[in-house]
């Protein structure tokens, strides 16, 4: 019999390992080392709190001054590109 239950992330997995943040990213979500999953969660909280999603296409993020620095000067990025750009600001 095959089970389809999802495996939970183990505490030692790479996603759960705290990462150090660049000063630009830390200015938005705080300077404490946190797991990558929490970085993404906190960035989405910031985006929603500041109403930065494009109203007509929710997959696009409009950068404010703080996010523009993190996004490498781009004024708008897709949610998929955002993940890539955020990873540049995290170090294990």
Residue 90 has pLDDT above 60, yes or no: yes
Phi, psi of 3 (to 5 degrees): -100, 150
Does residue 79 lie in a domain region?
Answer: yes
* pLDDT of 16 above 90: no
**Which CATH number fits the domain that encloses residue 72?**
1.10.245.10
Query: What is the arrangement of strands in the sheet containing 90-91, beginning at the earlier edge strand?
Result: 34-35, 18-21, 90-91
| Number of domains within the chain | 1
Residue 19 pLDDT: 94
**Tell me, what's the pLDDT at 92?**
82
pTM: 0.81
Average pLDDT of the chain is: 89
């Amino acid at each position: 019999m095959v089970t389809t239950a999802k495996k939970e992330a183990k505490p030692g997995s790479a996603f759960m390992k705290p990462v150090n943040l660049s000063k630009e990213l830390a200015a938005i979500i705080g300077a404490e080392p946190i797991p990558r999953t929490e970085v993404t969660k906190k960035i989405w909280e910031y985006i929603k709190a500041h109403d930065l999603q494009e109203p007509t296409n929710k997959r696009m993020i409009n950068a404010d001054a703080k996010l523009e620095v993190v996004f490498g000067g781009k004024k708008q990025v897709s949610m998929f590109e955002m993940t890539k750009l955020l990873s540049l600001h995290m170090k294990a």
